[in-house]
């Protein structure tokens, strides 16, 4: 009986892997070369203009791509406005912004090449531009995604959360086909952007098991956090997630995590697990840079890998929305 169960389980794994690979294979770099050749330059122009108006836009767009992909795959479901059941209203999505940039891009693309470019692909390309405009690596985006037919708040319960233990974070990433290195380098996306004091209050004043500050916070950093987010202060006040380097894409976020200068609890948790800790340390432990792993190169690999999660291809599995915040 056990052998039958093992064989059946193995067959299911192989079947799921084959389906996942087949879905991936439908994406390709240059998917719109003939049907909408200016798509990437159009997206880039809108992201550049929005960033000049608000320097936080790159962080908004990078986070938007992550949140889209982690619920039902990279299918634009996070963009839909369908009342009280909208996926974007889930607790795990609170504070998401950048929707207006995606809608502006879509409006322009519908004028230039109507019915061709999916909102899901716009989100993925915009995230790449967000990294580039933050002085991060430039990489090619696979496209060919279609927009999904479902957006429901009930499906967003497995988003990684800032309060999750490292074991839970790893499991949530494993569920999406991502590993420990992906967890580390995608957490590195916190190199740009800000967070609200709301997300620090328990860590500063009510850390288990006895309350008080999280002992993993460096004693030299704690007074600064307390001054920025006092017990009775404005919980909506925002501070950079990457201490002293919040506007530039760089490896400083991982150095801060190593030294106890992580702002978010979930980032600090990377040092609680021997595997993720070793991955973080690997970017600093080798003097010879020619053999040291590249955070930027690994980030690109993980972004491309994340961009393949649960993609929908072909007219039966998805659509090309005329506007991004509602189904056709």
Query: Which residue range(s) make up the domain with 241?
Result: 166-305
114 and 76 fall within a common domain? yes
Catalytic site residue 93?
A: no
216 and 189 fall within a common domain? yes
> pLDDT at position 92, please?
92
220 and 114 fall within a common domain? no
Residues in the chain predicted with pLDDT less than 70, given as ranges, are: 1-25, 286-290
* CA distance readout (Å), 16 to 6, 56, 146, 147, 306: 15, 38, 20, 21, 17
134 and 172 fall within a common domain? no
> pLDDT at position 288, please?
60
Q: Could you tell me the two tokens for 289?
A: 């840079």
> pLDDT at position 158, please?
92
Q: From 90, 274, 68, select the one nearest 184 (Cα to Cα).
A: 274
Neighbours of 87 (CB within 10 A): 25
21 and 100 fall within a common domain? yes
The CATH number that applies at residue 37 is 1.10.520.10
Task: Confirm whether 248 is domain-assigned.
Answer: yes
Residue 101 marked ligand-binding: no
Residue 131 marked ligand-binding: no
Mean pLDDT of the chain, nearest integer: 91
What is the per-residue pLDDT across 11-56, written as a single tens digit (0 to 9) for each?
Answer: 444 444 444 434 444 799 999 999 999 999 999 999 999 999 999 9
Task: Confirm whether 311 is domain-assigned.
Answer: no
Residue 73 marked ligand-binding: yes
Last residue of a domain, one of 159, 181, 209: 159
Task: Confirm whether 319 is domain-assigned.
Answer: no
274 and 188 fall within a common domain? yes
> 248: which DSSP letter?
S
User: For the chain, how many structural domains are there in total?
Assistant: 2
- Which one is catalytic: 65, 67, 93, 243? 67
Task: Confirm whether 322 is domain-assigned.
Answer: no
């Amino acid at each position: 009986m056990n052998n039958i169960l093992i064989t059946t389980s193995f067959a299911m794994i192989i079947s799921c892997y084959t389906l996942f690979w087949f879905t991936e294979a439908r994406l390709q770099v240059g998917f719109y070369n003939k049907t909408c050749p200016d798509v990437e330059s159009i997206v880039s122009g809108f992201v550049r203009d929005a960033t000049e108006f608000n320097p936080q836009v790159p962080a908004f767009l990078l986070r938007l791509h992550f949140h889209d992909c982690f619920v039902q795959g990279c299918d634009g479901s996070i963009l839909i406005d369908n009342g009280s059941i909208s996926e974007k209203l889930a607790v795990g999505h609170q504070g998401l912004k950048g929707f207006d940039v995606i809608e502006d891009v879509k409006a322009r693309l519908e004028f230039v090449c109507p019915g061709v470019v999916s909102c899901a692909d716009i989100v993925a390309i915009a995230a790449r531009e967000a990294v580039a405009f933050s002085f991060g690596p430039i990489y090619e985006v696979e496209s060919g995604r279609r927009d999904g037919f479902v957006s429901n708040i009930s499906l967003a319960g497995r988003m990684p959360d800032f309060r999750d233990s490292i074991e839970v974070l790893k499991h949530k990433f494993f569920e999406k086909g991502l590993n420990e290195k992906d967890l580390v380098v995608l957490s590195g996306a916190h190199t740009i952007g800000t967070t609200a004091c709301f997300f620090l209050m328990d860590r500063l004043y009510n850390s288990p098991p006895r309350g008080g500050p999280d002992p993993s916070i460096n004693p030299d950093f704690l007074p600064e956090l307390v001054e920025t987010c006092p017990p009775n202060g404005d919980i909506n006040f925002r501070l950079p997630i990457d201490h002293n380097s919040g506007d530039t894409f760089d490896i400083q976020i991982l150095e801060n995590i190593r030294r106890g200068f992580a702002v978010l609890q979930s980032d600090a948790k990377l040092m609680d697990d021997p595997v993720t800790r070793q991955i973080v340390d690997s970017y600093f432990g080798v003097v010879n840079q020619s053999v040291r792993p590249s955070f930027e190169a690994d980030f690109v690999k993980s972004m491309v890998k994340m961009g393949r999660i649960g993609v929908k291809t072909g007219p039966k599995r998805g659509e090309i929305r005329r506007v991004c915040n509602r189904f056709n």
